[in-house]
Amino acid sequence: MARQKKQKADRAYYTFMLLMLSVVLVFAFGLMIGKQNNPQEAETVQKSVTVPKDNLTENKTITASDTETVSSTQQAQKETVPEFKQATSFWSENSHIYLRVNHEKQLELKTVANFDLSDAVYNVNDTNIASIDKSGMLTGLTKGECTITVSCNEETLHIPVTVRELTVMDGCTYVDGILIANKTYGMPETYDPGMLPETEQAFNALQADAKDLGLNIYESSGYRTYQYQISVYKSMCDAYGEDYACMYSARPGYSEHQTGYTVDCNSIDNTFAETAEGQWLADNCHNYGFIIRYPEGKEDITGYAYESWHIRYVGIEAATEIYEQGLTLEEYLDVESVHVHVEGDGETADSETNLSETVPTENIPEEPIINSIAPEENITPVESFADAPLDAPI
């Protein structure tokens, strides 16, 4: 009897507890449903999301209209994005933008057909380093790194940007510490470092590793002085006139061989590109800090014809970036390479004259293409290059 009474009491207790639990659950469920159905409350939740400074502009709080392009879900994605991220409907052909202080660059976006980019929102995560306007025009402000974000139709694209600084020291021009010598930027006569030890060491390592693979890579031309360039250019001027020499030549002080960072390898003509040595050099020289300085197809940027044999030391990090992105040194440093010859500007064959390293391929019809100044012994018989076949080394 007592046992039956206890069982009854237990049943009543459990029934009561079950009832209470149900009430709590129903109440909680009701609250959730209520929140989802209340747009006012949902907007408040989104408004409280603050985008971190390194993703968008400084501490911008998302408004209801912003949620169309930047949702909290996208924010979560941004926090874990890799350095460079393509969107699927639109993209950039530049995986990295290099830009100098006070220089502008229009961000060029590609898009699939029918995708309208006119609503794209451009942001830069550090407005001290660079600014970007509504049309995607980027301006370098101070030396440093930042990231551009382009948002459109719930997709985002991120592009890292490096803003560089050009400095001139003792008549030499450096961009972020890299000495630049091309048709625009030269070196004074007093810059006479000889072949620099870092170049020598890197080349020795490259040569030794190539040798282990049965490849014979040797230095056919290395450091050249300003004076040497003058004598070579003068002989060209004597033979063909200054205009011709200027057209085909770099002026003295503008040859990369004067930097102390440059080596010409092997045969100094583009048959080298077809050899096992030439192919290995193109694929591997960046691992030693060298770049193929005048790549094929970039003649209008470097100002010089393709030279498969001419390598320039810039350090492993820069060389690897340049190689992987298929750039020239001009693009990497955001500098131009143009020589505009002005009549009567003081340039003469005797004073400010040149060594021809290579020649531009543009606008020079019906003339022999002088591809390179080869080692000294090949330069003297100037008469011979009038009859030289196309691309013959001089």
Residues lying near Zn ion in the complex (CB under 5 A) are found at 264, 310
Minimum Å gap between C-beta 307 and Zn ion is 6
Minimum Å gap between C-beta 148 and Zn ion is 36
Kindly tell me which of 160 and 222 has the beta carbon lying closer to Zn ion.
222
Q: Where are the beta strands (DSSP E) in the chain?
A: 90-92, 97-100, 104-106, 109-111, 121-124, 130-132, 137-140, 144-152, 155-164, 166-169, 172-175, 178-179, 219-221, 262-265, 290-294, 307-313
Q: Cα separation of 200 and 306, whole Å?
A: 23
Kindly tell me which of 90 and 272 has the beta carbon lying closer to Zn ion.
272
Minimum Å gap between C-beta 357 and Zn ion is 6
Minimum Å gap between C-beta 255 and Zn ion is 8
Alpha carbon 328 to its chain's center? 8
Q: Cα separation of 263 and 220, whole Å?
A: 8
Kindly tell me which of 240 and 304 has the beta carbon lying closer to Zn ion.
304
Number of alpha carbons in the 13 Å side-chain half-sphere of residue 256:
30
| CA nearest to 85, candidates 127, 132, 148 | 148
Q: Tokens for 230, please give them.
A: 């003058």
Kindly tell me which of 327 and 373 has the beta carbon lying closer to Zn ion.
373
Q: Cα separation of 237 and 232, whole Å?
A: 9
Minimum Å gap between C-beta 310 and Zn ion is 4
Kindly tell me which of 132 and 285 has the beta carbon lying closer to Zn ion.
285
Minimum Å gap between C-beta 393 and Zn ion is 10
Minimum Å gap between C-beta 221 and Zn ion is 6
φ, ψ for residue 61, nearest 5 deg: -90, 135
Q: Cβ contacts of residue 371 below 8 Å, gap of 6+?
A: 269, 270, 305, 307, 358, 359, 391, 392, 393, 394
End-to-end CA distance of the chain: 121
Kindly tell me which of 125 and 262 has the beta carbon lying closer to Zn ion.
262
φ, ψ for residue 282, nearest 5 deg: -60, -40
Kindly tell me which of 92 and 262 has the beta carbon lying closer to Zn ion.
262
Active site residue 307: yes
Which stretches of the chain are DSSP H helices? 2-36, 39-47, 72-79, 197-212, 226-240, 242-248, 276-284, 299-302, 316-325, 329-333
Catalytic-role residue among 155, 256, 307, 330: 307
Which residue's CB comes closest to Zn ion? 310
Minimum Å gap between C-beta 309 and Zn ion is 7
Q: Cα separation of 209 and 280, whole Å?
A: 11
Kindly tell me which of 219 and 347 has the beta carbon lying closer to Zn ion.
219
Number of alpha carbons in the 13 Å side-chain half-sphere of residue 25:
6
Q: Cβ contacts of residue 385 below 8 Å, gap of 6+?
A: 239, 368, 370, 392, 394
Q: Which residues are catalytic?
A: 307
